[in-house]
Amino acid sequence: MFDDELNEKPTRSHPIQFNHFAHLGYEHYPEFPNPLEKYFYTAAEFLAADWPEPRRIIRNLLDDESRILVGGQSKSFKSWLLLDQAMSVASGQPWIGFETVQNPVLIINFELRGHYFHQRIQSIAAAKKIDLPKFETFQVLQLRHWYLKDKSDREDFLAHLQTLIKRKGIIYVIIDPYYRLLTEQDEEIAQTNMGAVLHGFGAINEAGASIAYAMHMIKGASRNTQRDPEELISGAGTLLRDPDALMSVLPKKNDDELIYQMEFKVRDFPPIEPKLLSWDYPLLQVREDIDRSALRSVGGAARKITDTALLEFIALHNGDFKETKLTSEVANHFEVTPNTAREAIKRIRPRLAISPGDKLVSILGTTIFHQTQTDD
């Protein structure tokens, strides 16, 4: 039931096995050691342990035993983007400006019929000049007609998948779409059912592989410029809080050209600057010739804040705002991005008088708001 080497502390993630005596207290049953003991470290032990460096997959974005989520609206080329990523990792080619490290990749295709998936693979290989047949590192599970009827079906599938991943030495698994890990009785928005999906992801991680999955954003997400991209992804919040890296893809307008803005949230790496992409079949290509500040939301013109309107707004709310919260208040009121709000406030800054002590802010001698030194 337990690992034999109880004193050897693990330096990689492993499932913990508990026994039914745990709730009675291990002191009464010394023959059943507490399995948490091998995961307990003093500061000296933790610092002295040899923690192996994770195996890199995409530099500064993804390494092994991790999870990455791609969020975007319907028809925003998420599946194309992940397929391009899979083929890039399998061949060691760059992917939208990221350096990849060649690793075995498995893409689990639950959605497309074989003929059309075959066409996508061939078109991307031709565009990137990848001689794919010579790369045994790119592998496919074609499961278009597979459905999991119940929990037993899912457990069997995951057990076989773990075995396959280990036997083939696969380091990166892409599931498209992820919700096919739900059974016919599960609901996609239910937190308890998403726990089963996370259990499936855990089985893949335990086999030594990372996993990527895509989720849809809510309708009108491209117009919700003030909200965090994470808040725009629909479905159970359990999956949103789980990934080690999150990539969001939102459509924008550059004059009459449709541009996709990709933003990143990473847990283990330095912050990543947003990227601008445009669709050039069969790839989303990085565009460095576009001014991000000139982009506007799809379905509406770019909003602007006049100096007069901003000064009137601040004066109208005399005493209501803290200086540190002014940007968010202006952004919410005028329905603009925080960057646009900051630029507008910067323009009128010479017309504000801010004393260094109590942070009294005035416009033309009129007190606008007061922030005490104890405020955030």
Positions of CATH 3.40.50.300 in the chain: 56-297
**Fold of the domain spanning 307-370:** Arc Repressor Mutant, subunit A (1.10.10)
Cis previous bond, 30, omega within 30:
no
* 152-205 residue pLDDT tens: 998 999 999 999 999 999 999 999 988 888 887 775 545 556 777 787 888 899
Residue 277 pLDDT exceeds 90: yes
Instruction: Give the β-pairing of 366-370 and 360-363.
Output: antiparallel
CATH class of the domain whose range is 56-297: alpha beta
pLDDT, position 320: 53
* 53-104 residue pLDDT tens: 999 999 999 999 999 999 988 778 999 999 999 999 999 999 999 999 999 9
Could you tell me if residue 92 is left (phi over 0), alpha (psi between -120 and 50 degrees) or otherwise beta? left
Residue 204 and residue 187: Cα distance in Å, rounded? 22
pLDDT, position 353: 58
Positions of CATH 1.10.10 in the chain: 307-370
Tokens of 33: 């050691």
Residue 160 and residue 184: Cα distance in Å, rounded? 20
Q: How confident is the model at residue 240 (pLDDT cuts 50, 70, 90)?
A: low
* 220-234 residue pLDDT tens: 555 555 566 666 665
Residue 335 pLDDT exceeds 60: yes
CB 162 within 8 A of CB 206: yes
Instruction: Give the β-pairing of 283-286 and 275-280.
Output: antiparallel
| Top-confidence residue, 352 or 44 | 44
| N-terminal to C-terminal alpha carbon distance within the chain | 52
CB 214 within 8 A of CB 72: yes
